[in-house]
Structure 1
């Protein structure tokens, strides 16, 4: 049976989980519809999800429509949990973007749609909540066209908006108005359709139009729009039919090599690690020895395949399917299993921009806290767990305050550890602004290590990350020493001249040398006379930081793009406050009695603006923000305490290293 792996994405409170529940019910996968308000939905299984009424963790459920098995992946809508959405995007065949008919296009809606378009994921749009007071249809369609994409086609009309009688009437292929709109939309990417459109489109059969719509939807060129209500079920049947008819099925390369991707990791009741995997090709069987990640290997002890609801135990997992694997103790989110896919993209959204120090309420529980955070980092690597052993502090990265609250509750309820947080601070980055070179030669003071390392650091294009290259001959030193230098470069650059991660640079190894393996006469190997990988690991931070000092860095802070709707008569006060919080308005668009401002604002100042906005605008101001870019800090340059042996201070570094080795 063919499979469709379908993601449900939305801004928080657009009704995404309610739609998931309705789809499962309509397909017969569940006997009764759960409620987000009552906390008894199929996919929101965590106690916190039910208590808060929001999705925190990605969940998978399965149902059958006709001859198609649909694996439905419900993702969080709150921006604090965007990392969950990011991991899902790599395993989708198609998506449904849910928009509220009352609130319309919102900040997270735009972020999600931009990403879906960039990745060319075929997407249907479902305008939900047509039964709610204030629901609109034409205004929402116009907002979608203006703020998301003009490449849309309404697949029907909404009626009796704002009440329980609200419904959706699909357009018939013979409807002349719908036919004309569809031909006009498809003609943008189909020359034959364009010719027929210019000729009056009379020669186009309904079958030809359906085929053309499916082809362009699967290429993410057109996005069909449906209206309905997840609560009453109106429009959901049409959406289900559209998803199975218009979106592409999973390519089932059953005879190919085993290849898949891990998009979620959780712990079972006994603490065992469970990996959620999408298979792209091949067939995986219980007891198979499986390679994953960077050369790790383990045996699969059990397999669960999603089928008509949740996962059921099976002997194998085939191409196109989503399943759960047991037995892979070292598996991590983002790992490729078997043969890695070519051209896979790992980063779709901005990384966290906030950081805080987390501490146990009772100091004796520091070890328990660290163990718990390690397990949470397995499920969400972007919390970027950092330890400062000197100050006995633990840092975590965050997207927002809600995520911090969830971490606090999880640690208390699941691990029995109560914690406190320090004030949340903004995470900056460092970018080299010039070129710097440094070299230390074996047996030449002040180099105390049996290694020669020369490094050059150069600026690289924005968002290119860190690249390591060799300018020395590859065989000039043993491969293990090359690897030691490369690994240490990436580790060292996690803290630059001001303590922030260094990025957008190229590090080139320009010099290398080592002392061959030797010993005193008739004696065993003596590492005091022979170079080891440790010599290269210990020397590299000193050389790299010297090169970085020469290059110089710019500390850059995260900037948010903002859209601010305010009453026109408050514009003067708003502009004054925007200047106070260092926001830069780029455009002003009058809209009757209101005005829309767009521009950039430092991420660290967004909360301050949010607090002042209700008073300035009589409660009528609406602010939407999303990550824009990093740009150099204006004014005093912020720094972050180091958590390493401080290679910026040679004396301190060598002393700390000596203490650690002893």
Structure 2
């Protein structure tokens, strides 16, 4: 059985969920097309999704297409929920990127296409809302080629653009290609031009003997290069009227590559989503890569950072014709709901894939920017503090980028955010799903720290300054952005028990969540340069003595002090998140914008004027974006259009902000030792 796991992605309000409904209707899964406005869509199942008319959680629905099983995954379009898209990307065989014919290429559209191209996911583009006033055709295709992908090629023309009667006519060798081109030669020529960029043999034949470049050959090349994510066919239509949907469906069947796994191989897969069932049990969404995941069978899972766990699968459901139905097993290529894996987490590999460290690492790699805001969640009833922590912990399981952070000293709970809409969703979920009314403090920007240089420190065990039975030496060095924390050894792995090395590494990673100024240090190379321990010993005629023998607690106790000293010697600099922006405004309003840019610390690095409209591109600190949005209407007579997306982190100009620490501060040795020794 051939399977295609198909993602539907778009900027919010481009019509992504409406297109999903239309595809399900065309496949006979639903008897009538659901409405986002009426809250009757199949994939928007949460009450808040129906109230707001936006997709918050990714949803899977399946249908058959000429012998092909399509698992269609509807993803959120609002940038506040980009983490949901993040988790779906690595299980896709192909994607449809929806673009509004009226609004055109928007900020989130660019972010999504960059990720799709970076991961080489075969992608079709569907230009929706061709029946709306102001819809664009050829000009939008040029925009798509310029702003999204140079390999974009229109697969047909729209008749009656901007009217309710708008219809899509696909190009072909025997179909008109538009006024003045009745034989379709223009489409064949454009297709040959696009394909020849990546096909030298085709280019040579096209130059020397056009007759050798048949339409059948071009169509075959189109399928091959689409599968290789080199070319992106563009279809037009309307999810509201159904125009163009049949042609898009044919393109999905013909041009996107189906997955064919070996059902007889050992079971292997990856987990991209975790939910809680009615009884609070975990339900894992598993993309099966090989073999068959079966109920009542033992299934190992893990992520490479922790020891694999094996548990019995108590239930399996497979998506079939719009519903999840119980099954004895699910074969390679399909997506299943698996129950019984109590400790499973998003990004875990299952079955034979657990032995592949690269699989788990790839599942955790971020393809979008991290959250740049955080807020304190405050229970309205003081007695709910414990229940709130448990509820937020469950939400963090379902969305790891929430990054729950607890301040034990101030008894506060922090969550990371992409935006204010996400805050509203978390609040509604806690109230409706857990009965926990909460409020939020004002959101603040998350900064990071980067090393200014290299530094090293060393502590010999059982001395006046180090009361722990553990010798640890660490060297820290800057790592390029995006590298993450890399832990290595400059000592023999066999010089002490592996559990002690693991205790040091885990403690290093935990300690780096708060640097010298309290912000996380995300990119750093840490090398263990010294090690030493006290072997298991006992008093005469007595059992094992912790007072005479090293334990993991000794290494967890001294490592923060050694790492803090190394960081002090290296020094750190605080960096703030910066957004890339693109602003379109009337040319005569540009002089009024420059003082606002200066006041908001925005930098314009490109400016183009076309037909009285100025296009400005540059950078603005993430903390100032909302200020720019508020001032824009008054400065541009309401005609300014602003797009922004995360760009990079840059060093803070002026005094660096300090975040209060939530631990017992290894930067203050005396207080730290008093607390740790008292706890021990």
Q: TM-score when scaled to structure 1?
A: 0.98
Deviations, residues 183-205 of structure 1 (Å, cap 9, x unaligned): 12111111221122213522233
8 Å CA contact retained: 1:91, 1:278: yes
Deviations, residues 450-484 of structure 1 (Å, cap 9, x unaligned): 11111111111222111111111111111111111
Query: Match of 2:433, SS?
Result: helix
Deviations, residues 120-150 of structure 1 (Å, cap 9, x unaligned): 0000000000011111111211110111112
Trace 1:393-542 onto structure 2 (pairs within 5 A). Answer: 393-542=412-561
Corresponding residue for residue 73 of structure 1: 73
8 Å CA contact retained: 1:481, 1:533: yes
8 Å CA contact retained: 2:7, 2:73: yes
8 Å CA contact retained: 2:271, 2:287: yes
Trace 1:243-254 onto structure 2 (pairs within 5 A). Answer: 243-254=252-263
Corresponding residue for residue 398 of structure 2: 379
Structure 2 residue 117 is the aligned partner of structure 1 residue 108: no
Corresponding residue for residue 345 of structure 2: 332
- Alpha-carbon distance between aligned partners in 1 of 2:610 and 2:379, rounded to the nearest angstrom: 51
RMSD across aligned positions (CA): 1.1
8 Å CA contact retained: 2:316, 2:328: yes
Q: Tell me how far 1:75 sits from its aligned partner.
A: 0.2
4+ runs deviating over 6 angstroms:
none
- Alpha-carbon distance between aligned partners in 2 of 1:253 and 1:557, rounded to the nearest angstrom: 47
- Alpha-carbon distance between aligned partners in 2 of 1:221 and 1:472, rounded to the nearest angstrom: 46
- Alpha-carbon distance between aligned partners in 2 of 1:288 and 1:648, rounded to the nearest angstrom: 50
Query: Match of 1:271, SS?
Result: coil
Q: Tell me how far 1:646 sits from its aligned partner.
A: 0.9
Corresponding residue for residue 56 of structure 1: 56
- Alpha-carbon distance between aligned partners in 1 of 2:493 and 2:351, rounded to the nearest angstrom: 28
Deviates more, 1:55-64 or 1:329-338: 329-338
Q: Tell me how far 1:612 sits from its aligned partner.
A: 0.7
- Alpha-carbon distance between aligned partners in 2 of 1:3 and 1:481, rounded to the nearest angstrom: 46
8 Å CA contact retained: 2:206, 2:212: no
8 Å CA contact retained: 1:485, 1:536: yes
- Alpha-carbon distance between aligned partners in 1 of 2:456 and 2:195, rounded to the nearest angstrom: 56
Trace 1:278-357 onto structure 2 (pairs within 5 A). Answer: 278-293=287-302, 294=306, 295-340=308-353, 342=358, 344=362, 346-357=365-376
Trace 1:179-198 onto structure 2 (pairs within 5 A). Answer: 179-198=188-207
Deviations, residues 41-71 of structure 1 (Å, cap 9, x unaligned): 0000000001000000000001111111111
- Alpha-carbon distance between aligned partners in 2 of 1:517 and 1:400, rounded to the nearest angstrom: 52
- Alpha-carbon distance between aligned partners in 1 of 2:351 and 2:650, rounded to the nearest angstrom: 40
Query: Match of 1:189, SS?
Result: coil
Corresponding residue for residue 177 of structure 2: none
- Alpha-carbon distance between aligned partners in 2 of 1:622 and 1:181, rounded to the nearest angstrom: 32
8 Å CA contact retained: 1:287, 1:301: yes
Q: Tell me how far 1:251 sits from its aligned partner.
A: 2.7
Query: Match of 2:238, SS?
Result: coil
Deviations, residues 399-432 of structure 1 (Å, cap 9, x unaligned): 0000001101111111111111111000011111
- Alpha-carbon distance between aligned partners in 2 of 1:142 and 1:287, rounded to the nearest angstrom: 54
Query: Match of 2:145, SS?
Result: helix
- Alpha-carbon distance between aligned partners in 2 of 1:273 and 1:533, rounded to the nearest angstrom: 31
- Alpha-carbon distance between aligned partners in 2 of 1:479 and 1:471, rounded to the nearest angstrom: 14
Q: Tell me how far 1:181 sits from its aligned partner.
A: 1.2
Query: Match of 2:211, SS?
Result: coil
Query: Match of 2:414, SS?
Result: strand
Corresponding residue for residue 2 of structure 2: 2
8 Å CA contact retained: 2:141, 2:153: no
Query: Match of 2:193, SS?
Result: helix
Corresponding residue for residue 242 of structure 1: 251
Corresponding residue for residue 646 of structure 1: 665
- Alpha-carbon distance between aligned partners in 2 of 1:339 and 1:429, rounded to the nearest angstrom: 37
Query: Match of 1:588, SS?
Result: strand
Deviates more, 1:33-42 or 1:283-292: 283-292
Deviations, residues 584-642 of structure 1 (Å, cap 9, x unaligned): 11011112211011011111111111111111111111111111111111101011111
8 Å CA contact retained: 1:265, 1:274: yes
- Alpha-carbon distance between aligned partners in 2 of 1:416 and 1:335, rounded to the nearest angstrom: 30
Deviations, residues 436-458 of structure 1 (Å, cap 9, x unaligned): 11111122221111111111111
Corresponding residue for residue 594 of structure 2: 575
- Alpha-carbon distance between aligned partners in 2 of 1:584 and 1:72, rounded to the nearest angstrom: 41
- Alpha-carbon distance between aligned partners in 2 of 1:620 and 1:497, rounded to the nearest angstrom: 45
Query: Match of 2:210, SS?
Result: coil
8 Å CA contact retained: 1:62, 1:69: yes
- Alpha-carbon distance between aligned partners in 1 of 2:185 and 2:19, rounded to the nearest angstrom: 31
Corresponding residue for residue 11 of structure 1: 11
8 Å CA contact retained: 1:251, 1:280: no
- Alpha-carbon distance between aligned partners in 2 of 1:44 and 1:60, rounded to the nearest angstrom: 10
Task: Structure 1: state its 5+ residue gaps.
Answer: none
Corresponding residue for residue 219 of structure 1: 228
- Alpha-carbon distance between aligned partners in 1 of 2:537 and 2:511, rounded to the nearest angstrom: 30
Q: Tell me how far 1:435 sits from its aligned partner.
A: 1.2
- Alpha-carbon distance between aligned partners in 2 of 1:195 and 1:460, rounded to the nearest angstrom: 45
Q: Tell me how far 1:575 sits from its aligned partner.
A: 1.2
Corresponding residue for residue 622 of structure 1: 641
Deviates more, 1:181-190 or 1:574-583: 181-190
- Alpha-carbon distance between aligned partners in 1 of 2:165 and 2:210, rounded to the nearest angstrom: 36
Corresponding residue for residue 85 of structure 1: 85
Task: Structure 2: state its 5+ residue gaps.
Answer: 175-183
- Alpha-carbon distance between aligned partners in 2 of 1:201 and 1:251, rounded to the nearest angstrom: 36
- Alpha-carbon distance between aligned partners in 1 of 2:671 and 2:619, rounded to the nearest angstrom: 41
8 Å CA contact retained: 1:4, 1:244: no
- Alpha-carbon distance between aligned partners in 2 of 1:312 and 1:395, rounded to the nearest angstrom: 38
Structure 2 residue 170 is the aligned partner of structure 1 residue 170: yes
- Alpha-carbon distance between aligned partners in 1 of 2:191 and 2:20, rounded to the nearest angstrom: 28
Q: Tell me how far 1:161 sits from its aligned partner.
A: 1.2
- Alpha-carbon distance between aligned partners in 2 of 1:412 and 1:644, rounded to the nearest angstrom: 29
Q: TM-score when scaled to structure 2?
A: 0.96
Corresponding residue for residue 159 of structure 1: 159
8 Å CA contact retained: 1:183, 1:201: no
8 Å CA contact retained: 1:389, 1:643: yes
Corresponding residue for residue 144 of structure 1: 144
- Alpha-carbon distance between aligned partners in 1 of 2:460 and 2:156, rounded to the nearest angstrom: 74
Structure 2 residue 212 is the aligned partner of structure 1 residue 203: yes
